Structure 1
Amino acid sequence: MTDSTAPGTGASEQPASQPVSQQPDEETLELARTLLDAARNGETELLRSYLNAGAPATLTNYAGDSLVMLAAYHGHAETVQLILHHGGDANAANDRGQTPLAGAVFKGYPDVVRALVDAGADPDAGSPSARDAARMFARDDILELLG
C-alpha cells in the first residue's frame, strides 16, 4: 500500500458505479460525497446524524473504499467505531484487496487498529494483510495488538 494507491486519495470522490438505468441523481451523489468526506475527515457527529437517519454504513466509493476504510486510513478511531456500530464491515476490502486494518497499520494508527481488532477485523485478510504490513514496517507495537 503506497500513498499513490491509498484509499480515498482521488481528487474526485465518487460512489461506486451502477448500471445506467440505475444511475443516482445529483442529490444522491452529493449525499454520498458528503458521507465519504465525513468519514475521511473524521466528522463523527455529522456522520452520526446521517447514519442515525438511515444512511448506509456500507457505502463505498468508485474504488471500493468503504466508510470504515476511509476513516481508518485517515486515523479516526471514534469515527471507525461509529460506522462499525451502524453496520459497517471491519473486513471489507477495497477493489485492490486492501482492508481497513491493513490501512491503519500502514499509516501507523494503533488506536484505529485496536478499534478494528476489537470489532473482529481479521489481521490476515487482504493483500498485503495487516500482519504483513506490520512486519514490513517493523511495527512491533501493532503486531502485538494483532495477537
Structure 2
Amino acid sequence: MSPFPFTRLIRCAASGAAAFSLLTASAGGALANVKTCQLLEQNYEQIKRGASTAELNRSLFSAANKGCAALARRLLDDGASLQARDRVGFNPLARAAQAGEGEIVTLFLDRGADINARALDGSTALYKAAETGRLRIVRQLVGRGGDPSLTGRSGITPLAAGAYIGSKPIVELLLAKGADPNILDTTEKTAIVYAAGRGFPDVTRVLLDQGVDVNARYGNDLTVLMWASGYSAEAGVNDMIQVITLLLDRGAKVDDRDNRGRTALMTAAELNHEAAVDLLLAHGADKSLRDQQGKSAGDLTSLTALREKLAAR
C-alpha cells in the first residue's frame, strides 16, 4: 500500500491542528478584548456619577485604544470630548486609527472628530494608521477626507510611513489619492529611500512606476542606489539584490558619488555586503575610484576575501 494516504492524513491533521490553534488564538484574543471592555465599563460605572470631563476623556482614550465601541459611544453621550488630547497631542480618533479600530473610527468621524487634527509631532490619524500598517483604516480615513500631505514626526508623510514598513497596498492607495512621492522629510529622505533601503522591491517598483527619478539626490548627495547598497540590517539579502537589480535596470548610475566622493560600490564594500558588491561589479561599477580621503572600495571593507576581490585586476 502506498504511504501517500498516510502522509496526506498526517498533513491534513497537522493542517487541521494549525487551523484549530489559529481559531482558538483568535477566539482567545476576542475573549480577552471582551473582558477588557467589560472591565473598563465596570470602572466607568464606579466613577460616572460626578465624573469630571478629564475623567470622561481618559476613559474615552482607553475605549479607543482597546476597541470598546459601546463604551466609547456611551462616553460621548455622557460628555466626553473628541477634541481631547493626550500627553503627546493625539486626539481619540488618532488613537483609534493607530489601534486599527474601524468601528470606533467611524463612530468618532460620525460624531464630528477632526480628521486632520495634528499631534505635537504633526502626526494625524491617517499618519498613525499608515505607520502601523492599518490598510482598512487608511482607506476609511482618505475616503472621509484625511489629507495625505500632512506629515508626522520628522516631516515624514503617510506615504513614506507606509513605504517604511513595506506596505504596497497602503502606498498604492495613498498614491491613488494624490500623495506626492517626492516630499522630503527633515532628514532629506523620501518614500523611495525608505522602501529601497529597507529591502522592499515591490514598493520600490510602485514608486518608480509613479515617476520617481531613479537618480535623484537626497541628503548628503546620496542616491537611492547608494541607500540600497548600504541596506539596513533588517533587510534580507535576496530582497536587497532584487531592489538593487531593479534600480540598475531602471537606469541608476552605478558610479555616481555622494558628498564624500563615495559610490554605491564603496558603501556596499564598507558594510561588507558581498552580494551587493558582486552585483554592482557585474553592472560595471569602477572599483578603482577613490573617495575624497583617497580610499577605494577595497580599502573600506574589513573582509579579506572581499578586499582581494576588489583589488584584483
Per the normalisation by structure 2, the TM-score is 0.37
Q: Which residue of 1 aligns with 2:127?
A: 36
Q: Which runs of 4+ in 1 moved over 4 A?
A: none
How far apart, in 1, do the equivalents of 2:151 and 2:118 lie? Answer: 12
1:78-133 deviations in Å (ceiling 9; x for gaps): 10010111011112111111111111111111111111111112222323321211
User: How many matched pairs?
Assistant: 125
Q: Which residue of 2 aligns with 1:54?
A: 145
1:106 aligned to 2:197? yes
Q: Which residue of 1 aligns with 2:15?
A: none
1:134 aligned to 2:263? no
| Identity level (%) | 27
Task: Read off the aligned partner of 1:135 and give its amino acid letter.
Answer: S
For residues 1-147 of structure 1, the aligned pairs below 5 Å read 28-29=117-118, 32-125=123-216, 126-127=218-219, 128-137=222-231, 139-146=240-247, 147=250
Task: Call closer, same or farther: CA 1:13–1:84 in 2, change over 3 Å.
Answer: farther
Structure with greater Cα Rg: 2
- Partner SS state of residue 29, structure 1: coil
- Partner SS state of residue 172, structure 2: helix
Shift of 1:54: 1.7
Shift of 1:55: 1.5
How far apart, in 2, do the equivalents of 1:102 and 1:141 lie? Answer: 15
8 A contact 1:13–1:62 mirrored in 2: no
Point out where structure 2 has 5 or more consecutive residues left out of the alignment.
Answer: 1-87, 91-112, 232-236, 251-313
Task: Read off the aligned partner of 1:118 and give its amino acid letter.
Answer: D
How far apart, in 2, do the equivalents of 1:103 and 1:111 lie? Answer: 12
Point out where structure 1 has 5 or more consecutive residues left out of the alignment.
Answer: 1-11, 15-25
Per the normalisation by structure 1, the TM-score is 0.74
